[in-house]
Amino acid sequence: MTARQHYTLSISATILLLLTSACTKQPQPADQKGSAAQVHANLAQLMRGILFPNSNVVFAAQSKNPAEIKPADDPTTSTDALTTTYGGWTAVENSGLALAEAANLLTIPGRQCSNGRPVPLQNPDWAGLVQGLRDAGTTAYKAAQAKNQDKILEAADAITTACANCHDKYRDKPGGDSQRCM
């Protein structure tokens, strides 16, 4: 290959590379458009899918020491969080973290209650109720880290209180489901 052919080939490759990069959509950093949190579940679905099952893991740890719970015959397919591959105290830790993280999901604009009403994000008490759940989840996580059932009793009480505070205000309403989130 002559020097001229090599030069022409290099120029052609450079032009092709520039055209390809100019015509190809470049990945955007996570902080740009499209990275906003999206709502996929209504409030009842969120409660049933995340908050209720993870609270129950903490509640179960009140009466059974998670360290003494034997894994399922096939822990990879167990539907009981305490008997899975990540069972025992790890399951209780993970459930505490799931509750704390789920509090963030309660603050995403656009979420609706099961009756179609918007979650009351604008109400002055909502942020405090959400923080109560976040704190209760963190308390459960720390109790599980300590592997201390007395602290789990306190954590379960904190979860019960956080849930009751919100339910008393927004869920358990005269008139039933149609009055929720008001």
Residue 105, in any domain of the structure? yes
pLDDT tier for residue 36 given thresholds of 50, 70 and 90: confident
Residue 4, in any domain of the structure? no
User: What's the CA gap between 96 and 77, in Å, rounded?
Assistant: 22
Residue 156, in any domain of the structure? yes
Residue 138, in any domain of the structure? yes
User: What's the CA gap between 97 and 105, in Å, rounded?
Assistant: 13
pLDDT tier for residue 178 given thresholds of 50, 70 and 90: confident
Residue 27, in any domain of the structure? no
pLDDT at 2: 52
CB count in 10 Å sphere of residue 143 = 25
- Residue keyed to tokens 């505490």: 96
Strand partners, 112: 118
The pTM for the full model equals: 0.78
Strand partners, 118: 112
Average pLDDT taken over every residue of the chain: 85
Residue 97, in any domain of the structure? yes
pLDDT single digits (tens) 46-71: 999 999 999 999 999 999 999 999 99
Res 34 pLDDT > 70 = no
Here the CATH number for the domain that contains residue 94 is: 1.20.120
Res 105 pLDDT > 80 = yes
Largest CA-CA distance found in the chain, in angstroms, rounded: 89
User: What's the CA gap between 133 and 36, in Å, rounded?
Assistant: 23
Rg (CA), the chain: 25
Residue 14, in any domain of the structure? no
- Domains contained in the chain, number: 1
Res 144 pLDDT > 90 = yes
Residue 56, in any domain of the structure? yes
Domain that holds residue 167: 43-179
To the nearest 10°, the Cα dihedral for 6, 9, 10, 15?
160
